[in-house]
Structure 1
């Protein structure tokens, strides 16, 4: 392959081939050394040095970085040691409440210092953490709690108020713990501060360890919900190994880029320089929880949290905390790049802007390099892969801005025919399948969905893609009927079903229309029953009452005839954007 080098700082790129870099970095004694183990009867390549469980990981992080700051939130500053004391104390409290291995503990909270405390406390017991989407309505939260059979709910004050009207429909909940309540708590509801104190008090908690628990790499760790193709979200069940695989995957891509540039590798045992990471994506997403929080901890780095996304506040924090890395989805990078007050803030500390979860334009890649003098980086993964499968950074990304990178050494990709019976050769477009130590066990209580999505350990991603002769992956389209709005997945059927529930609607289709910052937004085409009328605003309000706000169509076009269909009766969705939305046609 002839590579076009867009980085004048390194005109001889690459010094080391991709295959050679992979061989060097995964060799014996390397931090990225791999080995093959048997998982569910299948030989699987894994990182050799990752800890077996989250409890082991927490102990290692505390031992190595105890005095370093871990979490920054407004005026709260929590060290690794204080966080560990809080997590271990809460684990004992949960055990006293009867939480055992396999029990589900739901987390419904925005990004707060208590989030990593509750997450690690749960996992240390062998219980299963169930992070719930903070954008969900009360009805959607009720579904997640019911579907998972959660025994304990740990919620922040605002989300507790959203769930409260639904509690009578949640008989499996035995205890509710609320952090930062909005007012007085109802009888029987426990304040988290009564169990472990506030974040300012964690450093003074007893120096205790997690309770004894029979857990290992293949123990279930979390259920993360992803939008469902049939209208209901599906819970992807990740093991400790699935999630902990991310500890090295992101760092691997960065190290590979430096090696290909010709830089010397640090001596064995050298700890990475700590970063300061502005986390602007939710911890209830796989990207925030697994692909970002874990690697931050593995390097003893600092995690700066925001109450909610605000571009100016983000720039203030970058300047104040000397943030070296931020991102999450392309939307974040665009909003900082294009903000009129950007030059008023010192953003020079930024070394890297990373993202995934949504397509990014090649123009964004170049602007990050030129305007910020930062290294753009991205990865591809999904909830069902516990985060990172491919990593793309440095000159490789500049050279191939339309690729999501090659798979990390513990992952495999292949391109399959539409019927799933034949692997396609290099350069041909088909459905992307992924295999590796990060692929989840399956969906919680969804046997039919498991049969459709998982084949001998491979996940059928629903993405249409191709691979080049070096293994770089190019996502071309989505086979699944899904829209990605700023990193949030929206399955069309879920919104269409909601529209169909309205008495005036007899035909409906949801499509994606382009948006520069968000990637795309949902829009609907609707046909009403004879004699019925409904306005765009009324239908939008109807959806907003039942589904999270990011799923509400930004535009609704009403048509007099039923929607065009093929011979099998399926709506011709690919024709709808150009027929009804001029911005999509353009």
Structure 2
């Protein structure tokens, strides 16, 4: 069955994935017909359908959907009493905790705008996010509160600070979240069972998620309720399409047990994973901090059926020396996004776990999922991120943005659809540059094949130009990943007097494996053109530094080569 035939069957009248055309900000846009219009409507439907299902597992805490819903409605009333109104920004700075989705839905139910701040940020970075967004209230966990506390007097506009799980006594005027809704063990007995009345529609602003860019100040992408809720069906569509293409009847979504290791402050965590998980009444298992051994223990204990997030997590599970000691037979799917995955990883997930690999492409500015790639399609096109979902469109444009390129040519990827955010918060110049007639210029270099499958070649700024020859870093990185000893790799450009740049690689080897610099250079040169072979390779003991969405922070890697040169001198 072709992609077009599968899409016609899945999106027709009466189907789960039925679509319709609506006008959004002056552009006719294809949308999912069967998603809830707003987050409070979604929450009400969830508690009615899955009230007794376990929702969050965190250490010894177990929270049902009804517990979560009552806590969210109770907190919404408290925030309403504090004066939170439609359009007010409420910042949320916390690690993955049971309180996170409580705060998220409480604010959204009032028409407020949730501003999830990166929990890895320094105090100064948190100050930037609070100041840039104009947040009225800050809700933070203990560690983030301690980090930002010395800077709070310098931040205008913050009227109230609320802290959950504080590390010590709170300053005067700061409220503990427990004082408002109590500990999670008592959420099921809270009095409220509905949100305060609020005038909210699908195109109202819901979140400001900051881009996790590797250079400059992050920009706040403003997503509407419809933008974010579009993800509820986008992930499931790829699974249903895969079943049809193999000749099977798609099964209705059923509850899963998901080990969530991606931060909820990132679009993948709160939108692409959390939303679809809730839509199926799934159980979400949280970790205090990523640890491969701890993940194996949780997969066995909770009978986890799905995990992933970014490729490096899948690699660490696969390469763990004690993996055979744990019962991982419950795993049905390992999915990821945020960074390209080596084709070898796709094959290993299937061969070593018998699990279905899954991937996709999206970005903060697309509220998560734009393409989905699963099952046999992924195995057969392991270097692709899949075709766009029916409510999205992709095109490849020339560098100057004036000409659409033919099928198969590499250019800048542009995306359009119901998931594309309305713009950046208070950044008119960036909006004019990045958002063109409803399309987002992604900054990714990509190509599309005849069937519409998308292949990400590189970030435009990461492409290396050696003496006029373009080197796409992902191409070389994938070859390095194919080497049996390599478990993490990144290609960067080093300055060269006459060539402009030369390729160099940073590599992390799998536990117990060895490889020399010359061996890896030969490995690449036997498989790619000579000019693409790294001129230097540095080995590191740990996996490579990544930002919140799994992208390697390449700007930090060049120093390794200069440090090596200084040591040698």
Q: Equivalent residue for 2:18?
A: 33
Change in Cα spacing, 1:130 to 1:219, as seen in structure 2 (3 Å) is: same
Q: Equivalent residue for 1:162?
A: 147
Query: Does the Cα contact within 8 Å between 1:219 and 1:240 map onto a contact in 2?
Result: yes
Query: Does the Cα contact within 8 Å between 1:229 and 1:481 map onto a contact in 2?
Result: no
Query: Does the Cα contact within 8 Å between 1:331 and 1:517 map onto a contact in 2?
Result: no
Match of 1:21, SS?
A: helix
Q: Equivalent residue for 2:113?
A: 128
Query: Does the Cα contact within 8 Å between 1:35 and 1:47 map onto a contact in 2?
Result: yes
Per-residue deviation, 1:272: 2.2
Query: Does the Cα contact within 8 Å between 1:54 and 1:123 map onto a contact in 2?
Result: yes
Distance in 1 separating the partners of 2:411 and 2:185:
53
Distance in 1 separating the partners of 2:165 and 2:326:
31
Distance in 2 separating the partners of 1:328 and 1:196:
31
Match of 2:559 among 548, 556, 559: 556
Match of 2:125, SS?
A: helix
Q: Equivalent residue for 1:59?
A: 44
Match of 2:184 among 199, 202, 208: 199
Per-residue deviation, 1:264: 1.8
Post-superposition CA distance 1:94-118 (Å, at most 9, x none) = 0111100000000000000000000
Change in Cα spacing, 1:512 to 1:66, as seen in structure 2 (3 Å) is: farther
Match of 2:432, SS?
A: helix
Query: Does the Cα contact within 8 Å between 2:214 and 2:555 map onto a contact in 1?
Result: no
Distance in 1 separating the partners of 2:71 and 2:503:
45
- How many residues align? The count is 495
Are residue 22 (structure 1) and residue 7 (structure 2) matched?
yes
Are residue 305 (structure 1) and residue 286 (structure 2) matched?
yes
Change in Cα spacing, 1:19 to 1:552, as seen in structure 2 (3 Å) is: closer
How large is the Cα RMSD of the aligned pairs?
A: 2.6
Change in Cα spacing, 1:476 to 1:554, as seen in structure 2 (3 Å) is: closer
Match of 1:428, SS?
A: coil
Post-superposition CA distance 1:437-468 (Å, at most 9, x none) = 00000000111111110100100000010000
Are residue 140 (structure 1) and residue 121 (structure 2) matched?
no
Change in Cα spacing, 1:52 to 1:517, as seen in structure 2 (3 Å) is: farther
Match of 1:358 among 317, 336, 339: 339
Per-residue deviation, 1:515: 4.1
TM-score by length of 2: 0.83
Q: Equivalent residue for 1:180?
A: 165
Match of 1:64, SS?
A: helix
Alignment of 1:23-102 (within 5 A): 23-102=8-87
Post-superposition CA distance 1:350-404 (Å, at most 9, x none) = 0000000001000000000000100000010000000000000000000000000
Match of 1:402, SS?
A: coil
Distance in 2 separating the partners of 1:265 and 1:227:
36
Distance in 1 separating the partners of 2:458 and 2:53:
43
Query: Does the Cα contact within 8 Å between 2:363 and 2:369 map onto a contact in 1?
Result: yes
Post-superposition CA distance 1:191-248 (Å, at most 9, x none) = 0001001111101111420001111000000000014586111000000000000000
| Deviant stretches of 4+, over 2 Å | 227-230, 480-485, 509-518, 549-555, 557-560
Per-residue deviation, 1:511: 9.6
Per-residue deviation, 1:516: 5.5
Per-residue deviation, 1:265: 3.4
Q: Equivalent residue for 2:387?
A: 406
Change in Cα spacing, 1:114 to 1:517, as seen in structure 2 (3 Å) is: farther
Per-residue deviation, 1:550: 6.5
Distance in 1 separating the partners of 2:247 and 2:156:
60
Distance in 2 separating the partners of 1:399 and 1:165:
54
Query: Does the Cα contact within 8 Å between 2:236 and 2:253 map onto a contact in 1?
Result: no
Q: Equivalent residue for 1:296?
A: 277
Q: Equivalent residue for 2:520?
A: none
Alignment of 1:193-272 (within 5 A): 193-228=178-213, 231-266=216-251, 271-272=252-253
Per-residue deviation, 1:171: 1.8
Are residue 151 (structure 1) and residue 136 (structure 2) matched?
yes
Distance in 2 separating the partners of 1:352 and 1:58:
26
Are residue 423 (structure 1) and residue 404 (structure 2) matched?
yes
Query: Does the Cα contact within 8 Å between 2:506 and 2:557 map onto a contact in 1?
Result: no
Query: Does the Cα contact within 8 Å between 2:221 and 2:421 map onto a contact in 1?
Result: yes
TM-score by length of 1: 0.81
For structure 1, the residue ranges without an aligned partner over 5 or more in a row are 1-15, 493-508, 519-543, 561-578, 582-586
Are residue 452 (structure 1) and residue 455 (structure 2) matched?
no
For structure 2, the residue ranges without an aligned partner over 5 or more in a row are 464-472, 478-489, 493-500, 511-546
Q: Equivalent residue for 2:324?
A: 343
Post-superposition CA distance 1:285-317 (Å, at most 9, x none) = 000000000000000111100000000110110
Q: Equivalent residue for 2:93?
A: 108
Change in Cα spacing, 1:213 to 1:422, as seen in structure 2 (3 Å) is: same
Per-residue deviation, 1:41: 1.1
